[in-house]
Amino acid sequence: METIKISFINNFRRYGMIIALIGIMLLFQILTSGTLLTPLNITNIIMQNSYIIILAIGMMLIIITGNIDLSVGSVAAFVGAISAIMMISFDLPILLAVFLCLVLGAVIGAWQGFWIAYVNIPSFIVTLAGMLLFRGLTLVVLDGQTISSYPNNFKSISTGFIPDIIPGSPLNVLTMIVGVLFSIFYVGSEWKRRKDQKSFGLDTGVFTIFLTKVMLLTAVILTLTYILASYAGIPYVLITLFVLVVGYTSVMNNTIYGRHIYTVGGNESAARLSGVKTKKMTFGVFVNMGILAAICGLVFSARLNAATPTAGNLFELDAIAAAFIGGASMKGGVGTVMGAVIGALVMGVLNNGMSLMGIGTDWQQAIKGFVLLAAVAFDIVSKNKGS
């Protein structure tokens, strides 16, 4: 019983932000008398926050290396503007345009990464300059105007849903099938992992907790699929997010690159003397952020169906807030991709819930500021107690 209690406390600390997210959702579910968790609104929350989540993933990596990126909003706007010019003004094929936009993002990231990693200019300065530079360039290329009406196929990356195999049915059957298959896959992989750990004599933790965790997550997956299926199905953008989250989590946890990124933030000198190519890692993390900012720019433009000079305004601050709510540390060296996603969702649900309640953006901003402070304070205080 004692071990279960300790294990529970440890897990509570680890999953504190998830529990907070669930709490916030329940709170707004009550305050909006059930509107928050309707199929339509859940779909909305995913689509509204997708681009911030994409940025938050990259921002988390940046913050783990002990850096910061203030330019992502401007970079997203700039790439969005270029995409509009390519697709709308010059009628380039969608795939080619998307590819060129990603390359552009990578080049911008490399530009900033070069100054930060190889010339040793603090990232705060370089990306502050980038924020001004790319906002300015966005205005230049758009000539201060909004360019609108993307091709339909492009719009669907942000607003489309996977098709149904039985048209006209009340539930999206394909969505349900995907959801069920995925939860089976999830349970299977968790089971296999536990078995692997056991066969190597590693500590596998308390079984009851393991079982509760797996059952809870499976329930969440199935409920979410059901909710999505009863509206329009799985949005394409959710698939993009899913691939990014799973991919980045795996890179950060299981690969040599990921481990090296953590050590750069943990102690750069020690990492360098241990054979970690610290400059290359820092450079790489910024190139990666550039690409993710480009994806964000594309998804956002597709959603607006327009490229505007003010697109992506203050996105950088939302992404940074998400990373810190999700457990990043100013000193670097800690944080998880999943944490960034949770952080972005906490902000997203707050936005959505307050909008549903009819609270104005003025108060929304103020409350979000307070939540950011409270979340990080909670994290730091509970960590100090833990050690």
Partner 1 sequence: MQNRMLEMEGITKTFPGVTALENVNIQVQKGAIHALVGENGAGKSTLMKVLSGVHPYGTYSGNVYIHGKLCTFKNINESEKEGIVIIHQELALIPELSVAENIFLGNEQAEKGIINWNKTVTKTIDLLKKVGLDVSPLDIIKNIGVGGQQLVEIAKAISREVQLLILDEPTAALNEEDSENLLKLLFEFKKQGITCILISHKLKEVIKVADYVTVLRDGQTIETLSLQKNEVTENQIIKQMVGRDLKKIFPDRYANIGDKVFEIESWTVYHPQQPTKKVLDDVSLYVRKGEIIGIAGLMGAGRTELAMSVFGKSYGRKISGKIYKNGNEITIKNVNEAIEHGLAYVSENRKEYGLILINSVKHNLTLSNLKKVSKRYRVKDYLEVQAAEHLKKQMNIKTSSVEKKVVHLSGGNQQKVVLGKWLFTEPEVLMLDEPTRGIDVGAKFEIYKIINGLAELGKSIIIISSELPELIGICDRIYSLSNGKITGEVNRDNADQEKLMEYMTEEYGRS
The residue ranges that bind partner 1 (CB under 8 A) are 196-197, 200, 202, 254-260, 262-263, 266-267, 269-277, 333-334
Measured from the CB atom, the residue of 252 and 349 that comes closer to partner 1 is: 252
Instruction: Quote the CA–CA distance of 339 and 327 in Å, as a whole number.
Output: 6
Query: Which residues are within 8 A (CB) of 65 and not within 5 positions of it... i.e. 6 or more apart?
Result: 261, 264, 265, 281, 282, 285, 332
Q: From the CB of 202, what's the least distance to partner 1, in Å?
A: 6
Measured from the CB atom, the residue of 158 and 278 that comes closer to partner 1 is: 278
Measured from the CB atom, the residue of 213 and 272 that comes closer to partner 1 is: 272
Which is nearest to 319 in space by CA: 62, 115, 65, 127? 62
Instruction: Quote the CA–CA distance of 326 and 229 in Å, as a whole number.
Output: 29
Instruction: Quote the CA–CA distance of 255 and 119 in Å, as a whole number.
Output: 27
Helices 39-64, 337-356: axis angle to 10 degrees equals: 140
Q: From the CB of 252, what's the least distance to partner 1, in Å?
A: 11
Q: From the CB of 53, what's the least distance to partner 1, in Å?
A: 25
DSSP category for residue 328: -
Residue 161 forms beta bridges with which residues? 235
Neighbour tally for 357: CB within 10 Å:
15
Measured from the CB atom, the residue of 39 and 266 that comes closer to partner 1 is: 266
Residue 148 forms beta bridges with which residues? 306
Q: Does residue 298 come out as left (phi exceeding 0), alpha (psi in the -120 to 50 range) or beta?
A: alpha
Measured from the CB atom, the residue of 213 and 259 that comes closer to partner 1 is: 259
Measured from the CB atom, the residue of 132 and 331 that comes closer to partner 1 is: 331
Residue 306 forms beta bridges with which residues? 148
Instruction: Quote the CA–CA distance of 296 and 76 in Å, as a whole number.
Output: 6
Measured from the CB atom, the residue of 333 and 348 that comes closer to partner 1 is: 333
Measured from the CB atom, the residue of 144 and 275 that comes closer to partner 1 is: 275
DSSP category for residue 333: S
Q: From the CB of 255, what's the least distance to partner 1, in Å?
A: 5
Q: From the CB of 85, what's the least distance to partner 1, in Å?
A: 38
Measured from the CB atom, the residue of 203 and 362 that comes closer to partner 1 is: 203
Helices 315-325, 72-84: axis angle to 10 degrees equals: 130
Residue 307 forms beta bridges with which residues? 147
Measured from the CB atom, the residue of 168 and 275 that comes closer to partner 1 is: 275
Residue 235 forms beta bridges with which residues? 161
Q: From the CB of 270, what's the least distance to partner 1, in Å?
A: 5
> For residues 338 and 360, is the Cβ–Cβ distance under 8 A?
no
Task: Name the 3-class secondary structure at 161.
Answer: strand
Block residue for tokens 């670097």: 332
Q: From the CB of 14, what's the least distance to partner 1, in Å?
A: 13
Q: From the CB of 118, what's the least distance to partner 1, in Å?
A: 14
Q: From the CB of 101, what's the least distance to partner 1, in Å?
A: 28
Q: From the CB of 262, what's the least distance to partner 1, in Å?
A: 7
Please give the structure tokens belonging to residue 289. 């952020």
> For residues 157 and 214, is the Cβ–Cβ distance under 8 A?
no
